[in-house]
Every structure is written in structure tokens, then in C-alpha cells.
Amino acid sequence: MKYGIAHISQISMREEPAHKSQLVSQLLFGDAYQIDEIVGDWLKIKTLDCGYEGYIEKKLWNEMHEKDAAEYVAIKKYLVTDYLIFIKEFETNVTFPVFMGSSFPYPQDKMLILGNSIFVVELPEARTLSKHPHLTEQQTVLIQFISGYLRAPYLWGGRTPAGIDCSALVQLAFKSVNISLPRDASQQVNFGTPVDFATEWQVGDIAFFDNEEGNIIHTGIICGKDKILHSSGFVRIDMLDTTGIYNMQIEKYTHRLRIVKRML
């Protein structure tokens, strides 16, 4: 089995091995994957953190040794919580941005080795955690992290502040509190404990929404009383009740509530 690890800001994952194929997700810097198949100039991969499948360009393969891949998921990692940070590739001396939500092993003496690539990394000072008397530390960390994506444009398959979809927003938010969730909303809904009554909803609960066929098509995180933070057009805060999401700008419901689940 061959493995790889993302060594640039983001790598597009496509549904089929073609540039015109739909974007299904993105690898962020530090994301590791296994290679299931080589298809011409493309690699069919599966991410090590959540098993998500797609195709990436073969020329972007940064090989990772099998022994390192086996240990990688469990290694303690630094999570980028700023909009972006800048790191330098050692060999070329080129500095480039790494987006919020990316994670990678803590550098040793400012040096980081990912597969066949070496980087110079100066981590920023730790961000001060805001104090909210009515929230737990987990809730505070999650909301502070996810709020950094506000106004980010919606992008199907996107996972960065430059473009992100609803399920990636939820997945990355829970990554900030060390809870691993699948990539898609239809998978995420299978986790957690149902919260049956609106009076019991808490900050950090995940709301899921369905279509006419009953398929889960949208998700977001409750961020306050009758409020939900989600990606729809852009990452925004809207009203939430037992019917669904109400957009006050257009004065109509945009998503029909199916269920609320608790992960924290």
C-alpha cells in the first residue's frame, strides 16, 4: 500500500479522474491519505482521518512511508486556528499560506518533515480563549473556532475560509475539540445523541436538514438561543426553530429541520 500527505495549502479531490469532474472535497496541508489505485495521471485516494474517497492529481503526490502513515493519525498535532499562517519550504525557501483547519505534527526546533518535504514553521502565539460564563470550555473552543469562518463563501467540496461547504464546516469545528466526524452530512447524522425538544438545545448541538425525499442535505451548529451558524451562500448566522432555518433577509424558511444531535 502506498501513502501520501498534503504538502501545499490545499489539494482538490474530485469525483472522477478529470479536471472537469465535480469537486467533492479538499485535502488541507498535513492531511494524509492512502492510495487505492493509480488511474493515468490521477490517484484514487482515501483520507486516513475519515476514510473519504476521491481523486487527486498524481503530480501532487508527496509520498509518505507506510510506517509513518500507520502512526500519523494518533500523533498529537497542531491545529491552525488563525485564518491562515505562513510557513516556508526548506529546500526552495518559498513561503506560502496554510489555512485554518489544517493540522500537522508539532515542529521540532522549527523544522517539520511531511513525507519527502521539509518545512520551517514558526507557530503563532496561542490565541486567548474567550470567557463565556454559560458555556463549557469545549463549547467555547468550538464556537470561537467556527466563528472564524463567518462570511466565508459557500463552495461545494470546499474546506477552507476561501470557500467551504456546510458539512466541512461542522467536521472542522469538531476537529477543534478533538472529535472526529465523517466528511458528509449524511454520514455525520449517524453520530451523537438525539435532542428531542427545542427547549433542550445547547450551543454546539448539530442540526440536520432534509429534502422532500427525506435525504439529509444540510447541517449547521447551534450557536445560541434560536440561532444556527451554517454555510449557505456564505457562512452566516440565521434563526432556527422546530420548523427549520429562517432567513430574515429574504423572510422565508430555507431549510427543513430533520433532527438535532449532541456530540459534546
Q: Is 90 exceeded by the pLDDT of residue 161?
A: yes
Its CATH architecture, for the domain 2-120, is Roll (2.30)
In sequence order, which ranges of 176-224 are alpha helices (DSSP H)? 185-188
pLDDT in tens, 71-99: 999 999 999 999 999 999 999 999 999 99
Distance CA 37, CA 47 (A): 13
| pLDDT greater at residue 238 or residue 134 | 238
- Kind of pairing, strands 84-89 and 95-99? antiparallel
Q: Look up residue 31 and give its three cell numbers.
A: 492531511
pTM of the model: 0.95
Q: At what angle do helices 137-146 and 166-175 cross, to 10 degrees?
A: 140
Domain spans, the chain: 2-120, 137-262
User: Domain 137-262 - what CATH class?
Assistant: alpha beta
